[in-house]
Chain A
Amino acid sequence: MSLTALRGSRDTPDARGTRGTRRWTSIGDGPTPTAGRVLAYAVLIGLSIVVLAPVVWAVLSSFKSQSELAQVPPSPLPSSLRTENYTGALSSFDFALYLKNSVIVTVGATLLTVVINTMCAYGLAKYNFRGRNLLFLVVLGTIMIPLQLIFIPVYQMAAQLGLVNSLWGLIIPPAATPTGVFLLRQYMLTIPDELIAAARIDGAGEFRIFTRIVVPLSGAAIAVVTIFSVMWRWNDFLWPLIISQDQSKYTLPVALAQFNSQLVAPFNYILAMSVVSMLPVVIIFLVLQRHIVRGIASTGLK
């Protein structure tokens, strides 16, 4: 069973189909004129360079000394793989702390997200109860209300609950992701009701059915939500910027942005820490991209 099955009859529910090359083509086999093909490759390669160049340039330059960075014209490669920018940033500034805050928030919020999103999705997918449709509408509605449009009242709520300048303030409010609930609910709809009914007849309690039957069967969707949540929380900026007013509660992106704009830390340190910020998500993406692509394709949501 796979998420592709959710997208309706036009897709084969065969998960292996996603790996085959044919999946990404519908304009089949007609012979393409060579000139057009060459042009297509030229455009694709050119744009790939535009996409990759800044990332590669940043990674290479993160090993350069300050004088090398200021050099005109810049040399493409660092003179040696010196790691002073990394060690210097960690020792002369509190980047280790910001890194730790980022990890705590990412892990904590993702755990909370997965637990409450999965529970909520199960309630909405597999029970008939009064108010269910209204609650599902609420989920869809909250997808349309991003934080960027309401952060003043959200901040006030957080302030009233004492969540400002606390990592809990970074973990709890963003944890209930509507996208996650939606994605999981759609997936759980494909779990046969008979399985749940059979477990009830065998005397399993409602919560036990959830943990022993529904959660294991929703592994693929839970994986997608986990990956998304990690990327969202790791890269979050506006909410941490508002909540973490105290330097000791900065996450990595907040520290990078603040230190850069206030010219607190030298740019070679900022660059090294930027690479540290990029690396985990890029690796996760490269290893697990199949799940990510499938998740986006099946919901059309970020």
Chain B
Amino acid sequence: MTSTARMAPRRTVGPAVPQSGHRKSVNRRRSVKPWNQRVAPYLFVLPNMLIFGLFVIYPAINNFNISMYDSGNGRDFTYVGGGNYQGMLSEAEFWSAARHTVVFAVFFVTLTTVVSIGLALLLNQRIKGRAFFRTVFFLPVVISPVVVGLIWGWIFERKNGLLNSLLGAAGLGQPGWLVNSTLAMAVVIFVGLWLHVGFYVLIVLAGLQGIDSTYYEAARMDGASGWQQLRLITLPLLRPTTMVVVILSLINGFQAFDYIWTLTGGGPVGGTTLMVQYIYEHAFQSPVQYGSAAAAAVVLFCAVFALTVINYLYNQRKESA
């Protein structure tokens, strides 16, 4: 006890602990550093920051600028002000993509959060083959989403698909999974979950390990049931992790594109076309409608940003209350 008490205020002890940065700040900051030590950090960060600047930061700002211009070929631009936004908002295709994105994101985030917490709780017990299950659930995360979409699209095929062959053999009928837009959306959500949930299971597992086991010991001593322990200890203490899962899966869900592209191609009749695909098709496929693509990109950008901030603030407040 005494040793920790002595350790605690160690910053005030000063020179006894050799912390170079700390000490330098005592005698004027810039004084003694030789020239090469002052220049070196800038040279070290330069290549990476240059690429950030050119390919992330400047484009992120330029996104707003571009959305004020229109172009039919992606080379010659004319200034149209807010015209792109007006055009976009009066376009049925945009609203369809926006609606589908929201539907997809809501189901994707909800299911991802619930399933990943459920699976992590199962895996956090003393269970034989836990390492095996963990490996299996994570496996899809490393597979190319393009390939995942291809394989599932083939399995969900109406006539020769594996699933319908099995259903047909069992006399359960052969639904047109990718022909009916509601079913196709369900399939897309399912494949998204299949592809990504293992990643979130890992995050939740890390969060579960962060919960002090003495809480459970005390709860058991007080006679709390397993369900009570889950409801009153695990889930509340897991909230920061849950927040991470919700934010990351939300950002992930709003960007969904590659596996949907090969799974349904956005069909049937745009039934699973989400925002990223809308933007891609308008900007890069003929007829090129650059303006509405850029405007939609700005809207998506702002939506993701706002949701992240709202979620963060909400959880901040809940934790402090």
Contacts and interface: CB of A to CB of B under 8 A. Distances in A.
B51 A238 contact: no
**Chain B residues touching A, majority SS:** helix
Interface in A233-271: 234-235, 237-238, 241-242, 252-253, 256-257, 260-261, 267, 270-271
A146 B251 contact: yes
Interface string B51-69: 1101111111011001000
A25 interface: yes
Given A124-B45, A146-B251, A282-B139, A296 B57 contact: no
Interface in B240-298: 244, 248, 251, 254-255, 257-258, 261-262, 265, 276, 279-280, 283-284, 290, 293-294, 297
B57 A138 contact: yes
Contact of B165 (A7, A74, A200, A302): A74
Interface string A162-189: 0000000000111110100100000000
A129 B43 CA distance: 12
Contact of A176 (B44, B48, B202): B48
Given A27-B216, A138-B49, A205-B36, A122 B44 contact: yes
A27 B202 contact: no
Given A43-B122, A54-B152, A117-B48, A74 B160 contact: yes
Contacts of A43: 122
Given A43-B122, A157-B54, A205-B36, A235 B19 contact: no
A119 B123 contact: no
Interface residues of B, number: 111
Contacts of B60: 145, 149-150, 153
Q: Which of B203, B211, B217 has the most CB of A within 10 A?
A: B203
A253 B145 CA distance: 9
B144 A277 contact: yes
A57 interface: yes
Contact of A256 (B119, B226, B251, B262): B262
Given A132-B41, A138-B49, A26 B213 contact: yes
Interface stretch (B3-11, B86-94, B102-110, B127-135): B127-135
Contacts of B262: 256-257, 260-261
Contacts of B31: none
A31 to B, nearest CB: 10
A76 B168 CA distance: 16
A35 interface: no
A56 to B, nearest CB: 11
A202 interface: no
B24 interface: yes
B55 A158 contact: yes
A278 interface: yes
Given A29-B126, A293-B202, A73 B169 contact: yes
Contacts of A153: 58-60, 62-63, 66, 294
Interface stretch (A45-53, A83-91, A92-100, A216-224): A45-53
B313 interface: no
B61 to A, nearest CB: 8
A120 B56 contact: no
A212 B80 CA distance: 56
Interface of B: 18-21, 24, 29, 36-38, 40-45, 47-49, 51-52, 54-60, 62-63, 66, 119, 122-127, 129-147, 150-152, 154-155, 159-160, 162, 165-166, 168-169, 194, 198-199, 202-203, 205-206, 208-213, 216-217, 220, 226, 229, 234, 244, 248, 251, 254-255, 257-258, 261-262, 265, 276, 279-280, 283-284, 290, 293-294, 297, 300-301, 304-305, 308
User: Closest 6 A-B residue pairs measured CB to CB?
Assistant: A123-B44, A127-B41, A153-B59, A120-B48, A176-B51, A148-B255
25 contacts: A32-B125, A37-B127, A55-B140, A55-B143, A72-B165, A73-B169, A117-B48, A127-B44, A142-B56, A142-B57, A144-B305, A149-B300, A150-B297, A151-B279, A152-B293, A157-B59, A157-B62, A172-B55, A176-B51, A178-B52, A206-B36, A256-B262, A261-B261, A261-B265, A284-B142
